[in-house]
Amino acid sequence: MRRDYYAVLGITSTAGPREVRQAYRRLARQYSPDVNFWDAQAQALFEEIAEAYRVLNDPAARAMYDRFGASLARGEALGAGRRGEDVHVSVDLRFADVARGARMRVEVPRYSACAGCRCTGQVGGGRCDACQGRGVRRAVEPVEVAVPAGVDSGMQICVPGEGSAGPLGGPRGDLIVSTRVAEHPFFTRKGDSVHCEVPISVWEALQGARVRVPTPSGEAALVVPPGTSGGGMFRLRGQGLPKLAGDGTGDLYVTVRVQMPAGLDARTHELVRELARLLPLDPRTGLAAYRGGAA
């Protein structure tokens, strides 16, 4: 037995459109399939919530529901106006949107209620010319879409009840938003882990240093230990990207590149020779064994 749509959203039958939307958003956050990944009961609840919203958010469908909803004929009454089609759109996201999540206005081409005939398809006994009697007309309308932090390319975000309106007062289908995330010039993403390469001077590599590195959410300090070689990789825990399902944040992996100063003169040349005498180093010990391809 289906529950009353108003009860599903926890609102009264006099609730305004704003109250309907707020109730839906609060419940959708709580029961979203993204949050409750494996919970079948939460998923069923979510579908019930989405269905209730689809009807109550659409003035024509709601009016029909209010009129016939109390009786057993509820199902048939809603069936009189078939549910509209789902609408697919894609959005381009910046790397920063992934780190923080985003609310965006997406222009959605869809069918919406015909104002000329108030979804009935008829005006003064004749067919409505504006919609050719279908009760719906093509329109491009902005829809607010909540993009969760941690989203990746090729994902689909479902916005229930924001697809096309059904003919003759049928409830709206869903809006399906496919995501495309742009590459970042500095950060490379692997799931919720992020990699980047940071240059340090040979002096910082020799003596050790505390260097500031950009992170997806701001900036962090990287402690470079004395005697660090180029290519060394360091992990900054929790400085990657938010995990989409569940809590926590991935890690940032920083690879250091050692940069040399150029333009030695006679004096600095002598100092480097002096340094080489004081800190002797043969980094290629053992390579001789591989001469001629020997293993």
Q: Which residue stretch of 52-60, 86-94, 109-117, 171-179 sits at the interface with Zn ion (rule: CB under 5 A)?
A: 109-117
What does the block give as tokens for 157? 């975000």
Residue 60 sits in the site that holds Zn ion (CB under 5 A): no
The count of residues in the chain is: 295
Q: Which residue stretch of 115-123, 169-177, 232-240, 244-252 sits at the interface with Zn ion (rule: CB under 5 A)?
A: 115-123
Closest approach, Cβ 138 to Zn ion, in A, equals 12
CA distance 180 to 75: 38
Question: What Rg value do the Cα atoms of the chain yield, rounded?
Answer: 30
Closest approach, Cβ 34 to Zn ion, in A, equals 38
Largest distance between two CA atoms of the chain: 103
Closest approach, Cβ 151 to Zn ion, in A, equals 38
**59, 116, 208, 230: which one contacts Zn ion (CB under 5 A)?**
116
CA distance 273 to 278: 9
CA distance 63 to 55: 9
Nearest CA to 175 out of 193, 190, 192, 158 is that of: 158
Burial class (CB in 10 A: 0-12, 13-18, 19+), 158: middle
Residue 91 β-bridge partners: 179
Which residue number, 69 or 167, has a Cβ lying nearer to Zn ion? Answer: 167
Residue 131 sits in the site that holds Zn ion (CB under 5 A): yes
Residue 238 sits in the site that holds Zn ion (CB under 5 A): no
Residue 128 sits in the site that holds Zn ion (CB under 5 A): yes
The SS3 of residue 59 is: helix
**117, 147, 222, 256: which one contacts Zn ion (CB under 5 A)?**
117
Q: Which residue stretch of 110-118, 223-231, 268-276, 283-291 sits at the interface with Zn ion (rule: CB under 5 A)?
A: 110-118
Closest approach, Cβ 103 to Zn ion, in A, equals 32
Nearest CA to 143 out of 159, 130, 155 is that of: 159
Which residue number, 117 or 241, has a Cβ lying nearer to Zn ion? Answer: 117
Closest approach, Cβ 80 to Zn ion, in A, equals 16
Residue 181 β-bridge partners: 93
Which residue number, 117 or 147, has a Cβ lying nearer to Zn ion? Answer: 117
Which residue number, 171 or 250, has a Cβ lying nearer to Zn ion? Answer: 171
Residue 114 sits in the site that holds Zn ion (CB under 5 A): yes
The answer to whether the CB of 241 falls within 8 A of the CB of 189 is yes
User: HSE on the CB side for 177, CA within 13 Å?
Assistant: 26
Closest approach, Cβ 166 to Zn ion, in A, equals 14
Closest approach, Cβ 63 to Zn ion, in A, equals 16
**77, 91, 130, 209: which one contacts Zn ion (CB under 5 A)?**
130
Q: Which of residues 165-224 bind Zn ion (CB under 5 A)?
A: none
Chain centroid to CA 220: 24
Residues that bind Zn ion (CB under 5 A): 114, 116-117, 128, 130-131
